[in-house]
Amino acid sequence: MGIVITAAATAAPTEPAAQAAPASSVDLAGRAARHCLDSARVSPSGVGVLVNVGVYREHNTFEPAMSALVQKEVGINLDYLADPQPAAGFSFDLMNGACGVLSAVQAAQALLATGTTERLLITAADVHPGGDASRDPDYPYADLAGAVLLERAADPGTGFGPVRHYGADRPTDVEGYLDLDTMGSGGRSAITVRRAPGHATRTGELAAAAVASYAEEFGLDLTRTLLIGPRVPLVADVRGAGEPDTLAGEPHTAAPILGYLRALEGGLRPADHDGILFVTAGAGPSAACASYRPQGW
């Protein structure tokens, strides 16, 4: 039995920053989730578990669990007694930075394989605590959300392979924190993110080492494998009508979902590739890899 992607979607602020209300991770995650479910033609009550993996939130909110707020925003099993399709819903946050989506896939494999749920929805949303990443030149990430719906498939040869996590023997070169000495009265809308010089090169080297290790362990032919890596350019054609062509910053936790959508836009074909390899890398330093074979291949 394989665990497959039924649908995926992304969401970004829909208006120029100067005209829009501050971005909300809950709102963006909710919009991405609804787009995803609409694409799959699945009602919110058809989702048994929601896993939220976003890191940066408006007003630096950490309590309550953001997953519960996203669950409410999407309308997933809010009252299982009154719902037309009675079912209990469950949601939780899983924070592992840039590797969060693949960590959630690993959790989904266990939950779906044991029949705990029929469908699991992953949401990944990051927004600047002040609600507008474009106003903070030192903040590296885009205000962006992604969602992906996972289900069981009858064919055991399709879907995700094992998820593997990798680390590097060095201190992390990324820090995201509240600077209590300087935050003042605006602390809820500020965040300090520091990345040491050479961060991109070191992250790329860790990702490359993770890919090589994963390919050796599972016998992947990398010449026949489409790599979806940790850095994906932001393009409008995968985000939906009415959303801006450019955003400030780079994708963070939603990067694997954005990369998958870009691959679909490019026309995935078995004639060109035997499958996909997701690779993520970020603070820790840490990386993760998971192979994926779409249904019908």
Strand ranges of the sheet holding 159-167, from the earlier edge strand across to the other edge: 159-167, 286-293, 275-282, 225-228
What is the separation, in whole angstroms, between the first and last Cα of the chain?
15
Task: State the pLDDT at residue 139.
Answer: 86
Helix intervals (H) in 41-157: 66-74, 100-113
Helix intervals (H) in 114-254: 199-218
CA–CA dist 51, 128 (Å, integer): 21
| Reported confidence tier of residue 95, pLDDT bands at 50, 70, 90 | very high
Q: Are strands 225-228 and 119-126 parallel, antiparallel or unpaired?
A: unpaired
Least confident range from 62-66, 224-228, 259-263: namely 62-66
| Reported confidence tier of residue 84, pLDDT bands at 50, 70, 90 | low
Residue 232 has pLDDT above 70, yes or no: no
Domains and CATH numbers, the chain: 2-293 (3.40.47.10)
Query: How high is the mean pLDDT of the chain?
Result: 86
Q: Can you give the pTM of this predicted structure?
A: 0.89
Task: State the pLDDT at residue 83.
Answer: 66
Please report, for residues 32, 168, 183, 247, 270, the alpha-carbon distance to residue 177 in angstroms, rounded to integers and kept in the order given.
27, 22, 11, 23, 44
Question: Could you report the per-residue pLDDT of 102-150, keeping only the tens digit for each?
Answer: 999 999 999 999 988 899 999 999 998 888 888 888 888 899 999 999 9
Under 8 Å between Cβ of 161 and 291: yes
Question: Could you report the per-residue pLDDT of 270-284, keeping only the tens digit for each?
Answer: 888 999 999 999 888
